[in-house]
């Protein structure tokens, strides 16, 4: 849990522009219907140059 909070804090600082130009996040979500039910997925990503950080959640 502690590492998740640290990563979240670093991403927040990078996104607000503390270390330079702000990095704007992208987000996507999907809802899938199948014979087994409904599934929902969400993804949030930050990218700048060669660095790409992505966090996804599926339910």
**pLDDT tens-digit readout, 2-52:** 777 887 787 777 666 666 666 778 888 999 998 889 999 998 888 777 777
- What's the pTM? 0.49
**pLDDT recorded at residue 33:** 92
What is the distance between the alpha carbons of residues 45 and 24, in angstroms, rounded to a whole number?
A: 9
d(CA 15, CA 48): 10
Give domain status of residue 18, yes or no. Answer: no
Residue 54 lies in a domain: yes
Q: How far is CA 1 from the centre of its chain?
A: 17
Token reading at 47: 């990218």
User: Domain tally for the chain?
Assistant: 1
Q: Which domain holds residue 56?
A: 24-59
Long-range contacts from 21-27, C-beta under 8 angstroms, 24+ separation: 23/47, 23/48
Quote the Cα angle for 49-40-45, to 5°: 10
pLDDT value of residue 22 = 67
């Amino acid at each position: 849990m502690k590492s998740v909070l640290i990563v979240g804090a670093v991403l927040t600082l990078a996104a607000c522009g503390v270390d330079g130009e702000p990095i704007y996040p992208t987000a996507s979500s999907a809802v899938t219907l199948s014979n087994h039910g409904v599934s929902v997925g969400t993804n949030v990503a930050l990218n700048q140059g060669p660095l790409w950080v992505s966090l996804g959640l599926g339910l």
